[in-house]
């Protein structure tokens, strides 16, 4: 797993030649916790879903479906763990009315777009904390992101996301 050895040198990886080949994808179990704080109120959402992890060109992709039975929603989600340490999150498919693509980089403000039924809305993220920990023996990991979301210069909320996965 070139990605693990190259980018996350602080991570525990094995040097065995029989490491898992992620180029074709491996099934994983996903546990996701999100916390959204808006106007002093915090909401918590927890998801436990099956997913896959695949490595392509020194980038890891974690894919799963975020299913909310209460709200009758089912969105495809992809987390892209780039070799430079940045993380990109895509929520919603290209055919969905709503599609959110966020880019996270420690201590950086990044502009992106949020597609809604009413058109595109420019949004920005500031990421005060971004931690990625992955092991490959056994294959498991944790992604923790704290970020602020802005639209038109106004704070939409403070967000925390913790994703755990294991094969």
- Write out the chain's pLDDT in tens, 167 residues: 544 444 443 343 434 344 567 778 999 999 999 999 999 999 999 999 999 999 998 899 999 998 877 777 788 999 999 989 999 999 987 676 788 999 999 999 999 988 888 889 999 999 999 999 999 889 999 999 999 999 988 999 999 999 999 99
pTM of structure: 0.83
Question: Taking a C-beta distance cutoff of 8 angstroms, is the pair 164, 46 a contact?
Answer: no
CA-to-CA distance for 60 and 82, rounded, in angstroms? 7
- Hey, where are the domains in the chain? 2-166
* CATH annotation of 2-166: 2.40.128.20
Q: Of the candidates 70, 85, 68, which has an alpha carbon nearest to the alpha carbon of residue 34?
A: 68
């Amino acid at each position: 797993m070139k990605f693990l050895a190259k980018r996350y040198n602080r991570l525990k990886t094995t040097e065995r030649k029989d490491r898992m080949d992620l180029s074709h994808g491996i099934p994983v179990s996903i546990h996701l916790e999100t916390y959204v704080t808006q106007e002093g109120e915090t909401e918590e959402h927890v998801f436990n879903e099956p997913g896959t992890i695949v490595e392509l060109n020194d980038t890891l992709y974690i894919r799963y479906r975020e299913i909310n039975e209460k709200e009758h929603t089912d969105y495809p989600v992809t987390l892209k763990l780039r070799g430079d340490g940045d993380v990109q999150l895509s929520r919603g498919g290209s055919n969905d009315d709503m599609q959110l693509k966020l880019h996270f980089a420690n201590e950086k403000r990044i502009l992106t777009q949020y597609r809604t039924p009413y058109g595109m809305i420019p949004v920005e993220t500031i990421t005060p904390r971004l931690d990625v920990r992955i092991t490959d023996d056994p294959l498991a990991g944790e992604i923790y992101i704290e970020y602020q979301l802005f639209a038109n210069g106004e704070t939409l909320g403070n967000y925390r996301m913790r994703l755990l996965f294991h094969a």
